[in-house]
A and B are shown apart, each in its own frame.
Chain A
């Protein structure tokens, strides 16, 4: 098995407050990992830190992706290495359509020109799979989209950009059962033995159709327990109480 992502003793501050207190995490190609944890435990910070979000400061440790230290790369360089994040609340960008944006981003990520007709067909195909109204392809990026539409649009971008590692930051939150199924389906479509998925979530519905390799429990900036898929079910039933006490 080949390592895709390796996080070593990662310590991250937000506005001088210590959020991550030494995270260690290794994800191999072909794996699906899940991070669960109570509110404020540092789940989203982990995702943002991998992407070097300037709102956070990495004060210690490093992140290795596909054999290369990416800790100090800029967000766009990390994206071009093949990392993708589905945002909790995707930004609205007026003035550019979903199709044109994806064409531009695809061109940036692959470094190759995009063949417009094939590309449009590809988008259309994915949108059908995701039960998205094809009209959204010509609407401005996320502008006026409902919460569910925004999340589906994130999954659409994931499929189109075809990264090596996907981080889903609470993509399932605020979605109804059908939309969660659609997101799950998107992940299944994407997944193969050469890429990997890191799912950050509160609940296990999104995991039902997926074969999860590892579940990590994050409490107060540290991974306090790692286990198999059954750990997720256990947490859903029992909550984080016993892990919190241990901290």
Chain B
């Protein structure tokens, strides 16, 4: 852990500053066929994409809200603008990004991160990607990293084959919504055998109030290729509800590797109803690292489908819910082939009236002989007004498996607090240190800037709660 983690004064303002809601085009609130058609027109969709949108709208209208999990009645689609185009086109040079938007991302440290240790960066502001760039040598090797709209235009065959195929449009209501109004997001194609040494990063920022962000991320990692993709999300706080219903589709072919890291720090008026799914081939592996800190309500359950023999997946996730937050997160894995394995490590911290729920599914199908799955979840309660629930489902359909699941709930150890205080640490520092230690297995998996950001968030969150 770096010194600055402790000593630097943390300023919540870096997330909460808001720019003037100054957009080029903002669609009417609500959701109708006309609005979906208008978005499609604004985006110059090809016919096949417009058809997907309109069909999705019908499905959206026919599906019910979930009958489980957090209460979503705060969401009124008539109050949400589904498309907000910022006053900027897609730029490949940072200098060309308009000042106010550039300023936002600079405050969030995006170009700095690119300079340091990234292979490429994308940045989305409201509904559109405003910046994309990637290192030259990767372009030469055939790596594609661009925004989704460009991909629809320039690589229609690849997109058509994969778009909403991993996550079916009728998966749930908010996937259907996403398919109807999606805008922005990243498209990554890593050709056979190409291994990226540095991560690609996309940053999503929702500035406009009472609006939604529906970015679509489509990543294809071809046979034997390897990629680390990082996404970061944030938004300033407004009094009205904002909605994020993104969709992430990951295709990881035989012998390929993908690591997908996310830090979500949406503001606390955000409903984060995100859907992420990976289809994993033979001998391939997908590792998920996920930190959920922001949002009013999150329903987020990344899913790995182990379709090839020897496919592997690991999920390492943490959520931290403070007052007014209901973070319902977890992981889903389907073992669909022999010799597959999954390892799930989940941690949650609830304080100041916040609610964390771990919700999961492990399904080992009949044909998944000799598969293994290990699940461990730990929940930490920082006070007696918070809530922490663990709701796993373990569906084992064949005998030749090793499956185990463990979970614990508890509070900070009084003994550990006393020990640290006897060395001169204040109660607040002692508690923060123990909480950071609790989160350490996850923070150590994150890129360093994100780990520091996560520790800052923990310190920041705890300052309000203790003392």
Enumerate chain A interface residues (CB-CB to B < 8 A).
51, 53-55, 74-76, 78-80, 84-85, 87, 90-97, 100-101, 103-105, 108-109, 116, 140, 157, 161
**Chain A residues, Cβ within 8 Å of B429:** 76, 104, 108
Tell whether A91 pairs with B424 under 8 Å between CB atoms, given A76-B430, A96-B433, A103-B3: no
Among B1, B420, B434, chain A packs the most CB atoms within 10 A around the CB of: B420
Q: Are B414 and A54 in contact (CB under 8 A)?
A: yes
Tell whether A76 pairs with B437 under 8 Å between CB atoms, given A55-B414, A91-B416, A97-B1: no
Q: Are B437 and A95 in contact (CB under 8 A)?
A: yes
Complex alpha-carbon distance, A79 and B436, angstroms: 22
**Chain B residues, Cβ within 8 Å of A93:** 416, 419-420, 433-434, 437
**Chain B residues, Cβ within 8 Å of A55:** 414, 418
Q: Are A76 and B426 in contact (CB under 8 A)?
A: yes
**Chain B residues, Cβ within 8 Å of A95:** 1, 433, 436-440, 443
B413 at the interface (CB under 8 A from A): yes
Q: Are A108 and B1 in contact (CB under 8 A)?
A: no
**Chain A residues, Cβ within 8 Å of B430:** 76
A114 to chain B, nearest CB (A): 9
Among B422, B429, B443, chain A packs the most CB atoms within 10 A around the CB of: B422
Complex alpha-carbon distance, A103 and B429, angstroms: 14
Can you list 12 contacts pairing A with B, beta carbon distance less than 8 Å?
Answer: A54-B414, A74-B421, A75-B418, A75-B421, A76-B421, A78-B422, A93-B434, A94-B438, A95-B440, A103-B3, A109-B424, A161-B424
Question: Would you give the 0/1 interface string for B404-430, flagging 1 where the beta carbon is closer than 8 Å to chain A?
Answer: 000000000111101111111111011
Tell whether A105 pairs with B414 under 8 Å between CB atoms, given A95-B436, A95-B440: no
Complex alpha-carbon distance, A229 and B438, angstroms: 46
Complex alpha-carbon distance, A200 and B3, angstroms: 35
Complex alpha-carbon distance, A104 and B413, angstroms: 20
Complex alpha-carbon distance, A94 and B1, angstroms: 11
**Chain A residues, Cβ within 8 Å of B413:** 91
B6 at the interface (CB under 8 A from A): yes
Residue of A whose beta carbon sits closest to that of B436:
A95
Complex alpha-carbon distance, A96 and B430, angstroms: 12
Known: A85-B422, A91-B420. 18 other contacts (CB 8 A): A53-B418, A74-B421, A75-B418, A91-B416, A93-B437, A94-B440, A94-B441, A95-B433, A95-B438, A96-B433, A96-B436, A103-B3, A104-B6, A108-B426, A108-B429, A109-B424, A161-B423, A161-B424
**Chain A residues, Cβ within 8 Å of B439:** 95
**Chain A residues, Cβ within 8 Å of B420:** 91, 93
Q: Are B440 and A74 in contact (CB under 8 A)?
A: no
**A-B interface, 3 closest residue pairs, ranked by CB to CB distance from nearest:** A95-B437, A95-B440, A75-B421
Q: Are A100 and B423 in contact (CB under 8 A)?
A: no
A76 to chain B, nearest CB (A): 4
Q: Are A74 and B427 in contact (CB under 8 A)?
A: yes
Residue of B whose beta carbon sits closest to that of A75:
B421
Interface residues of B in 1-60 (CB under 8 A from A): 1, 3, 6
B2 to chain A, nearest CB (A): 8
Q: Are A51 and B414 in contact (CB under 8 A)?
A: no
Complex alpha-carbon distance, A87 and B425, angstroms: 16
Complex alpha-carbon distance, A91 and B440, angstroms: 17
Among A91, A103, A109, chain B packs the most CB atoms within 10 A around the CB of: A91
**Chain A residues, Cβ within 8 Å of B414:** 54-55
Complex alpha-carbon distance, A166 and B423, angstroms: 12
**Chain A residues, Cβ within 8 Å of B424:** 76, 79-80, 105, 108-109, 161
Q: Are B422 and A51 in contact (CB under 8 A)?
A: yes
A52 to chain B, nearest CB (A): 9
**Chain B residues, Cβ within 8 Å of A108:** 423-426, 429
Complex alpha-carbon distance, A116 and B429, angstroms: 20
Complex alpha-carbon distance, A85 and B414, angstroms: 16
**Chain B residues, Cβ within 8 Å of A75:** 418, 421-422
**Chain A residues, Cβ within 8 Å of B421:** 74-76, 79
Complex alpha-carbon distance, A108 and B422, angstroms: 11
B445 to chain A, nearest CB (A): 13
Complex alpha-carbon distance, A75 and B420, angstroms: 9
**Chain A residues, Cβ within 8 Å of B443:** 95
**Chain B residues, Cβ within 8 Å of A51:** 418, 422
Q: Are A94 and B437 in contact (CB under 8 A)?
A: yes
Interface residues of B in 421-467 (CB under 8 A from A): 421-427, 429-430, 433-434, 436-441, 443
